[in-house]
Structure formats: structure tokens, C-alpha cells
Amino acid sequence: MIHLSRRAALARTCAALVAPILLLPACGDATQSADAAGSGGDTRNDRPRIALVMKTLDNPFFAEMARGAATAERDTGVNLSIAAARSETSIDQQIAIVGNFIDEKVAAIVIAPSDSVKLVPALVAAKAAGIKVVNLDNRLDPEFARQSGLGTVPFIGIDNVRAAHAAAHALSADLGTPAEAAIIEGIRNAANNQARKLGAIKGFAENANVRLVASESANWLRDEAASTTRSILAAYPGLKLLFCANDMMALGALDTLARLERTDVVVAGFDNIPEVEPALRSGRLAVTVDQRAAEMGRKGVEAALNLIRGQAVPAETIIETRVVTSRELRR
């Protein structure tokens, strides 16, 4: 992942924004002018219009995804619209965004769904309107998609079980004395959260010294993770290992640990957002997983274009991840 500052990443992202329902206060006028360009009768209108729908730009992971999608827009000449809901938990808003893009008759929707089940009906409606659909990052529930008539939607993302397994292993492999561990989960209805939890449990289970004592959801959110960490520590004051299913929650956990002056809890995150680099370098964060969000965004737009052109797209494209450890950065 290229380490842009959040502001730089957003600035680049905003240059590509055209969705009228885009909810990005940070983008201000950039949104408006890009929007005007989209409807102004320039050559953009002759190019296939692809919508990238993400969860929220509160999380820099999605700024990175948008950056990759914008690269594909430049390289392929499609007309890209990018939209995101206000926050991680604004699931209804994400559904409404899909509805708007259906009304706007885009050619394809590339979506990182906040919820693996709740977004399915909106995407069924998109498909019924002849819109191609590509699923990024968080897999739609295959069984529910089949029952709902969505059928198979090409998926582009990572192997979350494997990556979380590797991160939890890195966190606990060297432990020579008994230790209590906890997991802070994202939104429980998200398939990637469930897979990360499974992977972390497997990774911890490889060391007989580790005892998993708690697994709580903080909905992918920093503040919620700060308070969840506080309550886990109140119940298990001797806790030594904490696996967080994303970096934002790891930052929240680190906020609490700093406030409590606890330096003995080893923490893992997930995403490798630029914001965690100082914590990795100082050793406050032991490990994270780079899931190459920009690559996901780029591949998503390319897959959508192939579908629009009637070309075959693999049912599943797995992006390789990389475990990033504090140890390797400090060498």
C-alpha cells in the first residue's frame, strides 16, 4: 500500500468524485465541480459509467480503495462515480446509494457492502435493471444471494481467514507463558469480520499458552473499540493479547491502553492504513495486515468494464496480503 497521508489520499480521491449522493464533507467543492463535469455534455457521457460504492471515507482504507479505482478510470477511460455512506454503520444509507445509482442507470456497480445480507435486495434490483455488479472486499452471503435471485456476483478480495490466522500467529507464536487473549470484531453481519474472527481463533489456538477470554464487536469503529477495550480490561485485567479486526479499532484499543498506561498488551490490527505506521514503528502496535485496498479498487473497475463488454470475469479473484510486523519495521 502506498503511504499517502489521509488528506492527500482524500484529495486525490475527491478529484474523481461525481456521485450526487456522495457524502463526503471533506471534499466540499471538489464534489460539486466533478459532478457538474459529469452532466455537462462532455465526452465523459459517452463512456461507460461505473459506480464504486464503499462503506465510508471515515476509514482511510476506503480512500485507498477509491485511489485504486481512480487509477483504473484513468487507464481504461471509463466514467467513474464514487460514493460512500456517512459511517461504518450507515447500512441503510449505502442501500439508498445503490438505489440512486439504479435510477441514474449506471452500467455497473462495484460495491464493498457494509453488510453481507442487507445489501443483497438492492443489488438484485440493480441486476434486474440490467446493471452489472461486482463485489469487493466483504463477500455477499452466497446462500442468501442465490435464494434472492442475485446469482453469482464476481468477488474480488482477500482470504480473510488466512490473513487473520497469520496475524494472530505472529502475535502469539513466541509466547512462552500462559496469557489471556481477546478479539475485537467489526460488524458481526459482515462475512469478512466473521472470517477474521475464525482466523484469529485458529492462530491463537496454535499456542497452548493462549486462552481466548473475550470476543466483542466494536463495529469497525475507533471510539467504540476504545470503550470495548476498557470493558474487556475491566473484566480481564491480566489480558496480554488483543486481535482487532481492523486498524481503526486497533487505534481505539491503543488509545485506551495509553490512557491506562498499559504497555504489556500486545495488539494486532488489520489493513495497514498509513495512520498506524507510527504505532508500528514505536512498537505499540505489533502487527497488521496489508490487504492492498487500492488493488481491490483497481481490479473492481476493470472487472466491471469486462462485464459491460460481455467478457468473462472470474467468479473469485483473491488479492494476496502481507503481514506487516513492528519487528520488521524497527530492524
Interface with ligand ALL by CB under 6 A: which residues?
Answer: 55, 59, 61, 88, 112, 137-138, 186, 192, 220, 246, 248, 270-271
Which residues partner with 53 through β-bridges? 83, 111
Pick the closer one to ligand ALL by CB: 272 or 326: 272
Pick the closer one to ligand ALL by CB: 79 or 229: 229
The residue nearest ligand ALL at its CB is: 246
Q: Is the dihedral angle over the CA atoms 95, 96, 101, 102 positive or is it negative?
A: positive
DSSP H/E element including 147: helix 142-148
289 vs 250: CA distance, rounded Å: 12
Minimum CB separation from ligand ALL for residue 65, in Å? 9
Task: List the one residue out of 135, 23, 166 whose CA is nearest residue 122.
Answer: 135
Minimum CB separation from ligand ALL for residue 138, in Å? 4
Task: List the one residue out of 53, 57, 55 whose CA is nearest residue 69.
Answer: 53
Minimum CB separation from ligand ALL for residue 133, in Å? 17
Pick the closer one to ligand ALL by CB: 49 or 55: 55
Minimum CB separation from ligand ALL for residue 298, in Å? 16
Residue 262: all three cell numbers together: 498499559
Pick the closer one to ligand ALL by CB: 61 or 204: 61
Minimum CB separation from ligand ALL for residue 271, in Å? 5
305 vs 72: CA distance, rounded Å: 10
Pick the closer one to ligand ALL by CB: 16 or 112: 112
Task: List the one residue out of 329, 331, 172, 183 whose CA is nearest residue 269.
Answer: 183
Pick the closer one to ligand ALL by CB: 57 or 179: 57
Minimum CB separation from ligand ALL for residue 198, in Å? 15
Task: List the one residue out of 296, 262, 281, 304 whose CA is nearest residue 66.
Answer: 296
Let me know if 269 is exposed, middle or buried by CB neighbors in 10 A (0-12, 13-18, 19+).
buried
Pick the closer one to ligand ALL by CB: 38 or 60: 60
Whether the CB-CB separation of 229 and 256 falls below 8 Å is answered with yes
136 vs 133: CA distance, rounded Å: 10
Residue whose cell numbers read 493479547: 241
24 vs 310: CA distance, rounded Å: 33
Minimum CB separation from ligand ALL for residue 234, in Å? 26
Pick the closer one to ligand ALL by CB: 96 or 308: 96
Minimum CB separation from ligand ALL for residue 208, in Å? 29
252 vs 221: CA distance, rounded Å: 8
